[in-house]
Chains A and B, each alone.
Chain A
Amino acid sequence: MKRVLVLAPVLLLLSGCSNNWGWYVVDPTTTSGWNNLKFMASGAFYTIGMSVTAIMISVVVGLLVAMPGLSEKRGWRMFNRTYVEIVRSVPVLVLILWVYYGLPALSGITLSVFWAGVLALALSDSAFQAEIFRAGIQSISKGQYEAAQSISLNYRDTMRYVILPQAIRRILPALGNQLVYMLKMSSLVSVIGMQELTRKANELVVSEYRPLEIYTILVLEYLVLILIVSAGVRWLERRMKASDT
């Protein structure tokens, strides 16, 4: 029932309520339509590749940035605040352009489009990851630290075996959100020429002049990807819960 509700508006659009539709452009029963569809779907590889690589980097960087934020020392906390405030105030699109066009001029390092995209996405997301981790770690009760201290665990082991495993269970929904966000943000990397889903759609629009149909397919492509991610995160949540009930 829920699924019907979600898809109803889409179906309404597709039902031909306007006679301007020209679905032939993506009709899988014709050769050209089928080829067009294949062309569009071929961007998924980069959309997924960039998003997954970027999220892995941003989780690690986010955790590294979150840790000083929990320190009792003011200097460490200042580092955390400064990083988070600066990085999250830069629009993703601006960061992508800056990394791709600005970084080579500044440092002499030229990155491929893929890695420039990954770097910008990861950097941007890492500030949010840092805040998510900080909140997750802070939500673990003081008693857990004290119990770990009372059996002489050092800071590293306390984090690794006691605090983080509990924090990650709590922040899993938020991490899932970030992955969804990342998949969508990766569309912006099309502006520097990355051949991902959005870029492919744009190119097809230029040659076929059917933006309505092509962008609708593009919307569906993102929808499918994100529904898969959501299901995956939910499965993981259930599994982690099941392992300690």
Chain B
Amino acid sequence: MSIISMRNVSKFFGDFQALKDVSLDVALGERVVICGPSGSGKSTLIRCINRLEAHERGEIIVDGTTLTDKPDDLEKIRGMVGMVFQQFNLFPHLTVMENLCLGPRRVLGLSEQEARARAMKHLERVQIPDQAEKFPRQLSGGQQQRVAIARSLCMEPRIMLFDEPTSALDPEMIAEVLEVMTELASSGMTMIVVTHEMGFARRVADRMVFMDKGEIVEVGAPEDVFVAPQSKRFGTFIKQILNH
């Protein structure tokens, strides 16, 4: 039973076709890593899943609900799907605690006390409970990204989307974010991760998806595709990534 089902999804930016008839199923609890050269459509693909981008053709079904502009359906799906961005996108005028409590308070209708308790639980999970009263700019990039992960988790999503979560980080901070993501994966969260971190992909992914020019070129288990990529394009890409 797949929790996300994408059928022949196409997305255009003006004349440019960012996604070309893409189909992908993700099972509950599955960890999918999407990689590919820049401009291949991998970010667009996951941004379509919570409708930060609206697809023009095809169908996306999340947990039985078809994604349309209908506010009720959209709300239902966004409530199920959390997202972590490359640039963190924390709310700079709010403290860490306020960043985490905003959604639970306003969307889920939790009381102040419940929201704070939940926020604290997730801050402990991402290992920065002591930064609760600070503002985002007082934290390092790695800490900010972990706050962003906690902010998503506070909405108790069933699916987490990661859009190049470590690409804006200094090398020494990548590990701490990947560690949190690995822990999340081992807890059974359904995850779709766009990343170039091949070590992480190898450790965590159930499936690797390779995209190029708006198409899914290859899908396979990491232990297979890294050793013997089926397509020439994926082979070249992996070589470039691993040798750089």
Contact = CB atoms under 8 A, between A and B. Distances in A.
Interface of A: 141, 143-144, 146-147, 149-154, 157, 161-162, 165-166, 169, 244-245
B91 A153 contact: no
A151 B137 CA distance: 21
B89 A153 contact: no
18 contacts: A141-B89, A147-B89, A147-B151, A149-B50, A150-B81, A150-B82, A150-B83, A151-B82, A151-B107, A152-B78, A152-B79, A152-B107, A161-B91, A161-B102, A166-B92, A169-B93, A244-B135, A245-B138
B52 interface: yes
Interface in B91-112: 91-93, 102-103, 106-107
A143 B87 contact: yes
Nearest to B53: A146
Given A147-B85, A245-B135, A245-B137, A152 B93 contact: no
A149 B78 contact: yes
B90 interface: yes
A142 to B, nearest CB: 9
A143 B79 CA distance: 18
B100 to A, nearest CB: 10
Contacts of A147: 85, 89-91, 148, 151
B175 to A, nearest CB: 24
Report the contact-size class of chain B (Cβ under 8 Å from the partner): 20 to 34
B169 to A, nearest CB: 16
A203 B218 CA distance: 87
- Leading 5 A-B pairs by shortest Cβ distance: A151-B103, A147-B89, A143-B89, A150-B83, A152-B78
B75 interface: yes
Given A150-B52, A150-B85, A169-B93, 8 more contacts: A143-B89, A147-B91, A149-B78, A151-B82, A151-B151, A152-B78, A152-B103, A162-B102
A152 B80 CA distance: 9
A149 B81 CA distance: 11
A239 B99 CA distance: 20
Given A161-B102, A244-B135, A245-B137, A153 B107 contact: yes
A189 B141 CA distance: 54
B155 interface: yes
Given A152-B155, A245-B135, A146 B89 contact: yes
A144 B137 CA distance: 15
Nearest to B106: A157
A166 B93 contact: yes
Nearest to A156: B106
B8 to A, nearest CB: 25
A175 to B, nearest CB: 17
B15 to A, nearest CB: 20
A157 B101 CA distance: 13
Nearest to B148: A147
Contacts of B87: 143
B92 A150 contact: no
A84 B138 CA distance: 40
B44 interface: no
Interface string B23-55: 000000000000000000000000000101000
A244 B155 CA distance: 25
Contacts of B106: 153, 157, 161
B23 to A, nearest CB: 24
B52 A151 contact: no
B232 to A, nearest CB: 35
B5 interface: no
B102 A151 contact: yes
A105 B138 CA distance: 60
A146 B148 CA distance: 13
A143 B103 contact: no
B107 A149 contact: no
Contact of A144 (B78, B82, B83, B89): B89
B152 interface: yes
B220 to A, nearest CB: 29
A236 to B, nearest CB: 15
Contact of B52 (A146, A152, A165): A146
